[in-house]
Amino acid sequence: MPGTLYVVATPIGNLEDVTLRALRVLREVSLIAAEDTRRTARLLQHYSISTPTTSLHEHNERSRTPGLIDRLRAGDSIALVSDAGTPIVSDPGTFLVAAAHAAGVRVEPVPGPSAVIAALSASGLAQREFLFVGFPPARAQARRTWLEALAREARVVVLYEAPHRIRATLTAIAEVFGERVVAVAREISKKHEDLVVRPISQFLVEPLAVERGEFTVVISGFRPNVALLQPPTAEDIAVEFGDMTNFEGMTRREAIRQLATTYDLPAREIFKILDEVKRLAE
C-alpha cells in the first residue's frame, strides 16, 4: 500500500507556532523533504525529532522527485516542508505534489502558519476576497509592467518582497497605483517583527526604519473614480468615508482629502456633507 505525502506547514519565525499534528507527522514519517535541511534541523532539534531529512529545492526538485515517488509507492510516508510557512506558496514542491497525484499517492495537507494570512489578518485591510501574487519581478521595467496589470484590481493585493528591493517596489507601487493604504509587515512572529500601516505616500517621505528581513506587503484595492460615472449621494460619501477610516486605517483628514480628489469636490464640501449626514442620523 502506498504511503502518504504530507504537505506540512512549519513556523515562519517563532518555533511555538507549530501544530501538534505537524509535530506528530514529522516524527512518524519515514523521511522529511526540506527546502533547506539546515533550517529544518533547527525545528527538529527544538522538538527532539530525529526523522531523516533530504533536500528538495528549486534546483533539484525534478531530479529528486522520481526517487521520492518510488519510496511513496513502496509504502514510505514523506513530509514536505519549506524554509518556513506553508509549502508551495512561493516555494518549491509543486512538481512533487503533482507527481504524487499522478502516481495515485495520497497527498494530505497539514495546515498552519502562512505569512500571507498573518499579514492580511493584522493589516486592517482584509475584505471578503484578496489576491496573492508572490514576488514582483526583480528588474525595474518588468516590475512596473507587472504592477500596471494589477493597478485596477479591486481586491486587496498581497505580495512578498526582498529587503534589498522593498524601497524600489514601494516607490513603483506609489507611481503605478496612486495613493493607497498599504501595510508592510516584516519578520512576522520573529524577535524584530514590525507592521506599519499607512498611505503609500508616507512610505516615500518616511522610509522604513529597517530594510532587513522578509517583507509581506498588503495593498488596498482599486477604487474607480465614481465621479466620472454619476454624482455621489451624501450616503455614498458617508459610507465610503466610514470604510476608509474604519477599515483602511486612514485618518479623518486623509479620508476627506481622498474623497475630495475622487469626487472632484472641495474638501470643505465633503466635510459639510459628512456633518449633515451625521446630524440627520442623530
CA distance 198 to 187: 18
- Helix crossing, 140-148 with 166-177: angle to 10°? 40
Model confidence over 73-116: pLDDT tens digits?
A: 999 999 999 999 999 988 899 999 999 999 999 999 999 999 99
Model confidence over 38-82: pLDDT tens digits?
A: 999 999 999 999 999 999 999 999 999 999 999 999 999 999 999
Q: What is the pLDDT of residue 11?
A: 96
pTM of the model: 0.76
* Residues ≥6 apart with Cβ < 8 Å to 203: 170, 174, 182, 184, 196
Ranges of residues in the chain whose predicted pLDDT is under 70:
224-231, 282
Looking up cell 504592477 gives 147
**Cα dihedral: 91, 95, 97, 102 (round 10):** 170
CA distance 39 to 200: 34
CA distance 240 to 130: 19
Which helix (H) or strand (E) is 199 found in, with range? strand 194-199
Q: What is the pLDDT of residue 230?
A: 60
Are the beta carbons of 110 and 22 closer than 8 angstroms? Answer: yes
- How many of the other CB atoms lie within 10 Å of CB of 47? 12
